Structure formats: structure tokens, C-alpha cells
Structure 1
């Protein structure tokens, strides 16, 4: 018999997030955090530059968290202190929708961050680019999203306004640090297979510029929790049909590894200004 997960119905996911936040406070010795960051593929080294590490704990010691299923995700939760004195919660344990655990577990980290006091949520990912002039290793801002999972983290008659979901104020701040930053609409597909060329063209026709398998559901949950959201995608490859080459996860990891010094510095400088 499979053991029940803390987030399984009829549990209240917000009560579980509160318990997880209490675990983080106890294990890190930091009562509240100001900013939360989810580090996606290619972004893992950014934590080294954001600030001084106060504590680092395995995500599995926190209520509701599981070991990441994907290589490139570190499986830890870290509390950092910036030079300006802000407490930053760095989440290196992302549950992807394609793992089949349900949306509650996908957005649990975001709800935990909100319960821990964070008012700003920075979501990062590695993704495919549709704009032909983009190159692997290029960071871009997320301006909006298309949720193509046919699912939502909201339960029941819960109506949340998603206008300016990816904060224009924060995007403008990021461009003050790097005026060359481009932006685009992120399309979250269900995965885990990569998109077909026809699906990429569909996303393009719908107004999409970036394709991936995370972030949109998390952003919705962050807005429900009252957080201001900043989204970054690392373009690890041109999307299927845009690129003449076959896609592979090894390519994603390699692009992230090569881009780490640049994107880590960028993210650290942006967070330093939040």
C-alpha cells in the first residue's frame, strides 16, 4: 500500500505549506524570508553569488517536499543573507507537473515560500526559444504565459486576476541592470516529451516565444498567495523545428553549464536590488 503524501486530499495545502514554513524556520534558524527564488535548469550556481549562506538543508526534511526527479536540480533549500540584509529562500527542489504527483505538489514550494514570509517570488527555468535570433545560453525575461497544461493550482470557486502576473515593475528593474534583456511569453506544456515542430508553431501562432515544462502553474499559485513575480528563462536551445538539430536533455544541461557564470551574476545583481 502506497503511503499517503502530506498534500493528498483531504489535507489543506495551505496548512501543509504553513507546516513546511515552520520546518524551514526551525531548521535554518531564520524566522522569516523576504524573497524566494526557485532555481531551474542552468540556474543552480546563482545561489553562490546571491549572498552569504546562513543554512542549507535537504528539501526532504521539510514537510511536503520530495527529492527532485530531474538532473540539474539540486534538492536542497538554502537560506541566504544579501549584502543589504534581505533574507532569501533559495529552492533547489522543483516538482514538475509531468511527474504525475498533482498540482498541489508542483506549487507547494511557492506556497511554502509565501508562508515563510516572502513577498517576491523569482521563478527561473531552462527552456526552448522560438525567436530565431535567440541563442543557447541567453537569459530572457518572462512577460506573460500560456498555460497549456489544462490544469490549475486553484481549487473550487477561486478567481484570481492574472493581469501583470509577471511584474512589469520587476522586469523594468532587471533591465536597469542589463538593458540587453529581451522578453517573451512562456508556454508551459505538460511534458515530459519535448514539443513537436507543429506544437511549437501552434505556440508561436498563439503568441508564445518560449516553450518549457514548468513555471506557469507556480506563478499562478504565487499570485494567489499575494506575491510579486519575476520570471527568467535560460534559452538552452532553439525549439523543435526552429532548430535543425534534434533536442536532448544533455543539450539543456550543457547550455546551462556554459551560461552559469553570466546568468548567475545577473540573477544575483537583480535580487540585490529587490
Structure 2
């Protein structure tokens, strides 16, 4: 784990400057590719790929199924940057390091952050392979003071005490629901509350029951830190969970989940996820665009 206690604006600036000196166009949309969405980055036009190991100040992704690359290019006429592999606290990184790419995205010119993840279902009506548009989140580590905004605040990114009331952009959520209906995926698309836990173990039965009573519909080990920092930086945020398993709330009669089965569900839903996010990118209206948003 890095010895520094917080990020430095100058480090983010150095990373952004290094990247901007090597890409054709600054990105306006950032996409964190969770399980099942890694192939999206391969559809970018005029793609430029940078392994995390080559990027100044970037950590390395150590999780199976996460490629560890930053990919720049054009998708549906919009300039994008895709993270093929994110960082997690359970890998040993402090939260400021987990979220450093989001602050770099802000300095690159990103206006909208699309965050995807794999999650386990706590809701009786969700099935494996369903999609959950994130309406809100419960940040369990954050409630225990493990927050990416801990430490000195730099006003060049955002205020000391940001509000998270409207973190997941309501217009983007409505747009996504319209897209799901248009693509014929309404039956497998829901809106719900995502809960982040620290991991890397999957939840115990007692923990699953506890989280369900708190109001969580799905649970995973990522997303909340990146979203908190994106909101702090003034970005619009859209979150999407792929439901890869049902979290057991019973002590008898159910198989335990494992990472291989999570990856298998991600591969099975890769095409639908890619189609969904591609259409969402096409339909997003960015600040400064003159054309009206396409009607669906």
C-alpha cells in the first residue's frame, strides 16, 4: 500500500497531462467497464490503448477478468475513455488511489461517468443475468469513515461537504429505462439500491439478511468510491449492475457463489451490456452540444 495518506492535485495533473499529450481527442464520457463490459472498449473507433503499468501514478489491477488498460476512442460520435479493470480496496489500495482515475478523468474533460459492476441480488424479484439501474447506494465502508474524500480537500475538484442526494442522474436513469424498453430488455431491467461492502469474501447469510433489511437490492465490492469522487468533481453519473448471482439468505439448500460463476454470467450477458451502454452513449446530450437529444 502506498505510504501517502491522500492524493495530490499535482499527481492527477501530471497523469492527465501525460495522457493528453498522447491521445487524439480529450474524452467527454468516462466508462468503468465492470464484469461483462470489457469488450466495449474494443468497439471504440480510432482506439488508443495504454496499459496501467505505463501511466504515471496509476496502480495496477490484480483481479482476474480485469485487463488493466485505459482505452481512448470514439463511440457513437462521442469521445470516450474506458477503464478495462478498476481498483478495489481489497487489493490493498487506499481509497484515494482507487479513485485517482476519476480525478484524472475530470482533468481530461470528462462530463459524464458511466459505472458498471457485477453484483449479487438481495431482492426476491431479481434473477441472475438481470440488469439493475442504480437509483442510489449504501456505502458501508463510507459509513465507517472509509471515504475517498477523507483528508485535505482540494477545492479545485469540489467542495468539502458534497451532497449525495441526487448522485445518480435522474435524466440518465430515465433515458436508460427508455432504452431498455426500446431494445426489448424491459423484462430484465430494474431500478434499485446498490450496497458496497469491502470484500474480498462474499457475504455471510447473516450479513445478507442485514443488508436486505437496510434496503439494499444488490451488493458488490466496488463503485461507491468512484461515484462519490465523480459527484464531488461535478460529473453526471450513471450506474449499472449486472446481477451475477443470488446472495443466499438461507443456511440450507443453496450453493455458494464463486468468482468463476460471476465471470461466466458476465460473458453470457456481454452482448446485451455492450448494446445497452452503446445506445446510452449515443443518446446522451453533453454540455455544449447544439443538437437536441434524440427521441426514443
TM-score normalized by the length of structure 2: 0.85
CA distance in 2 between partners of 1:12 and 1:255 (Å): 35
Secondary structure class of the residue paired with 2:99: helix
Contact 1:34 1:88 in 2 (8 A): yes
Alignment partner, residue 37 of structure 1: 31
After TM superposition, the structure 1 = structure 2 runs for residues 47-58 of structure 1, keeping only pairs within 5 Å, are 47-49=41-43, 51-58=44-51
1:30-72 CA-to-partner distances (Å, cap 9, x unmatched) read: 3x210000111222112234x3143111122112212211011
Find the aligned partners of 2:282 and 2:75 in 1 and give their Cα distance.
7
**After superposition, what is the alpha-carbon deviation per residue over 1:245-270, rounded to whole angstroms, capped at 9, x for unaligned?**
21100010000011111111111111
Q: Following TM superposition, by how much is the alpha carbon of 1:12 offset from its aligned partner in structure 2, in angstroms?
A: 4.2
Cα separation, 2, equivalents of 1:23 and 1:15: 12
1:164-223 Cα offsets, whole Å, 9 max, x none, are 111111100111111322111111001011111111111111110010000001100001
Q: Is the 8 A contact 1:187 1:211 kept in 2?
A: yes
Equivalent residues, number: 266
Q: Which one is further off, 13-22 or 217-226?
A: 13-22
Task: Note if 1:62 corresponds to 2:62.
Answer: no
**Equivalent residue for 2:156?**
none
Give the number of the structure whose alpha-carbon radius of gyration is greater.
2
Q: CA RMSD in A?
A: 1.8
TM-score of the superposed pair, with normalisation by structure 1: 0.92
Secondary structure at 1:88's aligned position in 2?
A: strand
Asked if 1:115 is matched to 2:123, the reply is: no
Unaligned runs of 5+ in 2: 154-159, 285-296
1:73-132 Cα offsets, whole Å, 9 max, x none, are 111111121233x21011113110111220111101111111110010111101101112
- In the other structure, the counterpart of 1:9 is 4
The change in CA–CA distance for 1:202 and 1:57 in structure 2 (over 3 A counts) is same
Q: Structure 1: 5+ residue runs without aligned partners?
A: none
Contact 1:153 1:221 in 2 (8 A): yes
Q: Which runs of structure 2 are paired with 1:1-274 in the superposition (5 Å)?
A: 5=2, 8-9=3-4, 12-30=7-25, 32-49=26-43, 51-84=44-77, 86-149=78-141, 150=144, 151-154=146-149, 155-156=151-152, 158-179=160-181, 180=186, 181-241=189-249, 244-274=254-284
- SS of corresponding position for 2:27: coil
C-alpha contact (below 8 Å) 2:31/2:115 kept by paired residues: yes
Taking the aligned partners of 1:66 and 1:152, their CA distance within structure 2 comes to 18
Contact 2:6–2:96 (CA under 8 A) maintained in structure 1: no
